[in-house]
Amino acid sequence: MHHHTIFDTPVVNTLLRGLSIGILRATGWKVEGQLPAHAAKSVLIAAPHTSNWDLPYTLMLSFVLRLRVYWMGKQSIFRWPFGPLMRWLGGIPVNRSQANNLVASSAQAMREAEGPMQLIVPPEGTRGKTRHWKTGFYFIAQQAGVPIVLAFVDYERKVGGLGPLFEPTGDVEADMARIKAFYAPIKGKNAHQFDIG
């Protein structure tokens, strides 16, 4: 799971960081927050996820914040000829039919990873309007013993970045309520599709 990506390709990373800063600045976006040293291994919530634009913004924000991110995507986007490119961008193909093993294998990969690894997990699991948040990100963090970072892209305020760290307490219901409260005022590109219910 922990493979070589664009984020640890030296010259390319530097060029794309400069380009990302330029694009975000030119389009009026601000970047907030930074990753604390003790959260070098962490699970990043990517919310709200309502548009295909979320991935390019997430990648640009990751360069600006000097993150080393991996993200999960449905297997179909890893088909030839795009597979190698998607993996280089930090993508990890997910077989939805084996989702029950996903948490355990993701947590194990995080524990075994050498060096920084921030795993981006969208809680809604799809770009469509979904009623329930999936708790996979929560259990991956809990089993890997890493904090959850409340990352966000707010299209209304044109601000993206990293919010507070969240340490799972084991009380899933209470923790999810607190996490959702953070995201309540944040607007996705297609805000009508984002439901924190």
Per-residue pLDDT of the chain (197 residues; tens, 9 = 90+): 567 899 988 899 999 999 999 999 999 999 999 999 999 999 999 877 778 888 889 989 999 999 999 987 778 888 889 999 999 989 888 776 665 677 888 888 888 888 899 999 877 655 455 446 788 899 999 999 999 999 999 999 999 999 999 999 999 999 999 999 999 999 888 866 555 54
Q: Which residues of 10-43 are buried (b: 16+ CB within 10 A; e: fewer)?
A: eeebeebbeebeeebeeeebebebebeeebebbb
φ and ψ at 121, to 5 degrees? -130, 115
Position 192 scores a pLDDT of 64
Instruction: List all residues 6 or more positions away from 69 whose beta carbon is below 8 Å from its beta carbon.
Output: 7, 44, 58, 59, 62, 90, 118, 119, 120
The pair of three-digit structure tokens given for residue 149, joined into one six-digit string: 């970072």
Query: What does the domain layout of the chain look like in residue ranges?
Result: 6-193
Full-model pTM: 0.85
70: which strand partners?
119
Position 195 scores a pLDDT of 53
Instruction: List all residues 6 or more positions away from 147 whose beta carbon is below 8 Å from its beta carbon.
Output: 38, 39, 42, 43, 141, 165, 166, 167
Position 62 scores a pLDDT of 95
